[in-house]
Chain A
C-alpha cells in the first residue's frame, strides 16, 4: 500500500499546478492518444475523425449531445469494440484493445453510468468484488476480511470520503457516494486512466459538485481522466482539454487556455438548441 498525499478534493477550483506543466507541452507520451479515429456500425457512421489526448494528472472532457458518439468513443477506449480507422496509442505504443479485460490490464478503468455495484452487498464486499484478496491455503483459503475492510476505508478516505460503516449495504449510499466508491475502486486497483461515463447526469446540483471533487481527487493522484458529459459547466470546472462531438464527428478540440466557458457552451449547443440552453442557463443563475 502506497500512501498518496494527494491534495484535498476541495481544491476543485483551479489552483496553479505544482507540476508546472502546461497542457499541450507534455514531457512524455500521452497515456492515451487517439488520432483520426473512426468507427462504423454497418453502414452507419458512428465516429469520424476523432482525435484526443489523455495525460497523467489531467482531465480530458468529451462533450456532446445525445447521439453525438460519446458512448462509441468511450467504448473504443474501454475495449468494448475496436476502431475501424485511425490509430489508438497507449503510452506511445500503437495498439488495439481486444476486450474490456485487455483495457483493464493496461490500466484503463471505466466507471459506467449504471455503476457496477451490487446494492444489497456491504461497501467493502462491493469494493473488492471480482478481485478479492485471500489468505490461507488449500481448503482454508479464505477472504482476508480484515484487510478488505481496512483497505476500503483507507482508499475511500484518500478520496476524501469518510465512511464510518463500510458494512452498510452500498445501496444505502446516495448516488453520488456510490459513484465515488466506484471511482475510488478504480483508483485503488491501479488504474492509470479513468473513464467516467456521464458521472453527473443523474445527480442533483450538490451531488454533482461532490462527484466532481472526487474526479479532481483522482486527477490529483496522477490519473488521466476522461470525463464524458453533456454539461459544459461541469466540464469547464475541472477540465484541462475539451473535445466536442456532434453527430459522430469532432467539431472542436481545445485546451483550457484556448477557450472560455461561454465559447464552450456556444460550440456545444449551436443553432436552434441555443435558445433552450439559454433558458436553462438563466435558471441556473437567477
Chain B
C-alpha cells in the first residue's frame, strides 16, 4: 500500500519530548531557586530546614493539585482559599456545638464542603457564566459567612478550642501530626500532598476521566460532540477542589485547636500561581499535577529560603511575582519550541 506521509513531520527526538512536558519550566526554575538558596542561605540544606520547606510547600501543594486539574479543565476557583477556612470552621463548630466526637464534625465538614464545590460546578454549567464570576461570588459569600457565623455562634472571630474533645488526638494524628522518618521530622501533610499528586497524575494520564478533563479544557464543544459528559466532568473537578479544601481545612483546625475565621483570603491566588508556574495553561487543556507540585515547592523554597537567608520577608511577594512572570514566560517559550512544526 502506498502511503502518503508528510515529510514536514520530523521524528521527535527525546529532547523534544522532554521539552514538551508541561512541568519542564517549573523544574528548571525550582532547581535554580534551590541552588540559589543553597548558596545564599546558611543552613538551607540542613535536613530540618528542608523538612520545613516541604511542609510549607505541602500546605499549598494539597490545594494546588485539584486547582491545577480544574485549570486543565478550563476553569478557575477563586473560592478555594476561603473554602479551606469554611471547611475548618464547619468541622470545629459542629463538633463543639453538638458536643460530638470531632470525627463527626470532620465528616459533616466533608459533606458540606463537597456541596459547596458541587454548587460552584452546578452554577457554572447551568448558567454558562464565566467561572471567574461564579466563584468570585462564592468567594465573597463564603468570606462573609465565615466571619458572620463565627461571630454569631462564638461571639468572637475565632472558634472555641476543641482540643479536649473526644476524637481530637486521632484526628490530629491523621491531619496534623509530625512523623519522624530517619531522624527527620516530617509533617503528615507532606504525605497527603504526595498522595494527592500521585492520585491526580494517575487520573489525568491513565484514566478516561483524565482524557475528559483535558478535552473539556481544550475544546469544550468538541468534547461534547463526541460524547464526553462535560457537565459531569466540570462539577467533579469543582468537587475535587472542595475535597482538597477539606483536607487543608482539617489540617488548619487540628494543627491548632481553633480557627481564625478571617483566614484563607488571598490563598486562592497562591494555588493558581503554583499551578501556572507548574505549567498549567491558563486557558485550559494543558498542564500536569506534578507541575503543580513543583510550583508549590518553588513557593515553599522561596518563602522559607528568605527566612533562612535572614532577609526581610516583606520581599517574599516580590519574588513570588517575579517567579510567576519568569515561569510563565519560560513555559510559553518552551511550548512554542516544542510545538514548532518547522
Contact = CB atoms under 8 A, between A and B. Distances in A.
Interface of A: 8-10, 100-101, 104, 112, 114-121, 125, 128-132, 134, 141-143, 145, 157, 160-165, 167-169, 171-172, 174, 177, 210, 213
Contacts of B228: 129-130
A17 B208 CA distance: 42
B1 A129 contact: no
A138 to B, nearest CB: 12
Given A143-B206, A164-B11, A165-B12, A117 B222 contact: yes
A143 B9 contact: no
Interface residues of B, number: 32
Given A130-B227, A143-B208, A172-B341, A121 B1 contact: no
B5 A162 contact: yes
Contact of B2 (A8, A100, A120, A128): A8
B12 A168 contact: yes
Given A10-B2, A116-B226, A117-B222, A125 B214 contact: yes
B331 to A, nearest CB: 13
A275 to B, nearest CB: 37
B164 interface: no
B64 to A, nearest CB: 21
A130 B11 contact: no
A118 B218 contact: yes
B207 interface: yes
Contact of A115 (B222, B223, B286): B222
Given A101-B227, A118-B285, A143 B1 contact: no
Contact of B215 (A129, A160, A174): A129
A213 B3 CA distance: 12
18 contacts: A8-B1, A8-B2, A9-B4, A117-B219, A117-B222, A118-B214, A118-B215, A118-B222, A118-B223, A125-B211, A129-B215, A130-B223, A132-B208, A157-B1, A157-B3, A160-B1, A161-B3, A165-B12
Given A129-B226, A165-B11, A121 B214 contact: yes
B12 A167 contact: yes
A121 B227 contact: no
B6 interface: yes
B223 A172 contact: no
A183 B251 CA distance: 51
Contacts of B339: 169, 171-172
Nearest to A104: B227
Nearest to B224: A116
B152 interface: no
A132 B218 contact: no
Nearest to A9: B4
Contacts of B215: 118, 121, 125, 129-130
A145 B223 contact: no
Contact of B4 (A100, A121, A141, A161): A161
Interface in B1-53: 1-6, 9, 11-12, 17
Interface string B185-210: 00000000000000000100011101
A145 B206 contact: yes
B225 interface: yes
Contact of A164 (B2, B9, B285, B341): B9
Contacts of A112: 225
B86 to A, nearest CB: 29
A218 B305 CA distance: 62
A210 B4 contact: yes
B4 A120 contact: no
Interface string B221-247: 111011110000000000000000000
A167 B223 CA distance: 19
Contacts of B223: 116, 118, 129-130
A100 B208 CA distance: 22
Contacts of B225: 100, 112, 116
Interface in B117-169: none
A170 to B, nearest CB: 10
Nearest to B4: A160
Given A114-B221, A120-B218, A168-B12, 17 more contacts: A8-B2, A118-B285, A119-B218, A119-B219, A119-B285, A120-B281, A125-B215, A129-B215, A130-B215, A142-B206, A142-B207, A143-B206, A143-B211, A145-B206, A160-B2, A160-B4, A164-B11
A156 to B, nearest CB: 10
Nearest to B17: A167
Contacts of B219: 116-119
Ranked nearest first, the 5 interchain pairs of A and B with the lowest CB-CB distance are A130-B226, A130-B227, A118-B218, A162-B3, A116-B225
A160 B218 contact: no
A213 B341 CA distance: 24
